[in-house]
Amino acid sequence: MYRSKTILTALVAAGLALSAPFAATAKELRMALSAEPSSMDPHFHNLTPNNALTSHVFERLVHFDSKMKPIPGLATSWKTIDEKTWEFKLRPGVKWHDGSPFTADDVLFSMERAPNVENSPGSFATYVKGKTFAKIDDMTIRVTTPAPYPLMPNDLATIAIISKKAASGAKTDDFNSGKAAIGTGPYKYAEFVKGDRYVLVRNEDHWGEKPVWTKVTIRPIKTGPSRISALLAGDVDVIEEVPTTDIERLKGDTKIALGQGLSNRVIFFHMDQWRDESPFITANDGSKIKNPLKDKRVRLALSKAINRPAIVDRLMEKAAVPASQFLADDFFGTSKKLKPETFDIEGAKKLLAEAGYPKGFKMTLHSPNGRYINDARMAEAVAQMFTRIGVETKVETMPGAVYFTRATTGANGNPEFSFMLLGWGAGTGEVSSPLKSLVATFDKVKGMGPVNRGRYSNPVLDKAIEEALATVDDPKRAELLAKASEIAIEDVAVIVSHYQLNTWATRKGMQYTPRADEYTIAMSVSEQ
Interface positions, 201-220, toward other proteins (CB under 8 A) = 219-220
User: What torsion, rounded to 10 degrees, do the Cα atoms 30, 34, 36, 40 define?
Assistant: -50
Enumerate residues 161-200 that contact other proteins by CB under 8 A.
172-173, 176, 193-197
The one segment of 5-13, 140-148, 440-448, 488-496 that binds other proteins by CB under 8 A: 440-448
**For residue 150, which of 496, 407, 465, 527 has the smallest C-alpha distance?**
465
The one segment of 90-98, 203-211, 344-352, 424-432 that binds other proteins by CB under 8 A: 424-432
Angle (CA) 444-410-366 rounded to 5° is 115
Identify any residues that bridge with 396 across adjacent strands, giving them in sequence order: 366
**379 is a contact residue toward other proteins (CB under 8 A):** yes
**233 is a contact residue toward other proteins (CB under 8 A):** yes
**3 is a contact residue toward other proteins (CB under 8 A):** no
Binding mask 295-314 for other proteins (x = CB under 8 A): ------------x--xx--x
Identify any residues that bridge with 144 across adjacent strands, giving them in sequence order: 85, 132
Are residues 76 and 68 in contact, defined by beta-carbon separation less than 8 angstroms? no
Neighbour count for residue 128 (Cβ, 10 Å): 22
State the minimum distance, in angstroms, from the CB of residue 308 to other proteins. Answer: 12
Are residues 307 and 313 in contact, defined by beta-carbon separation less than 8 angstroms? no
The one segment of 103-111, 141-149, 369-377, 487-495 that binds other proteins by CB under 8 A: 369-377
State the minimum distance, in angstroms, from the CB of residue 514 to other proteins. Answer: 21
Helix ranges, 295-436 (H): 296-305, 308-310, 345-354, 375-388, 400-409, 432-434
Binding mask 314-343 for other proteins (x = CB under 8 A): xx----------------------------
Are residues 173 and 492 in contact, defined by beta-carbon separation less than 8 angstroms? no
Are residues 486 and 338 in contact, defined by beta-carbon separation less than 8 angstroms? yes
**387 is a contact residue toward other proteins (CB under 8 A):** yes
State the minimum distance, in angstroms, from the CB of residue 68 to other proteins. Answer: 14
Burial call 338-369: b when 16+ CB within 10 Å, e when fewer: bebbebbeebbbbbbeebebeebbbbbbbbbe
State the minimum distance, in angstroms, from the CB of residue 397 to other proteins. Answer: 5
Among 447, 473, 490, 508, binds other proteins (CB under 8 A): 447
State the minimum distance, in angstroms, from the CB of residue 94 to other proteins. Answer: 27
Based on CB atoms, which residue is closest to other proteins, 194 or 359?
194
Enumerate residues 119-158 that contact other proteins by CB under 8 A.
119-126, 129
Q: What are φ and ψ of residue 97, in 5° steps?
A: -60, -20
Based on CB atoms, which residue is closest to other proteins, 68 or 141?
68
Enumerate residues 83-122 that contact other proteins by CB under 8 A.
117-122
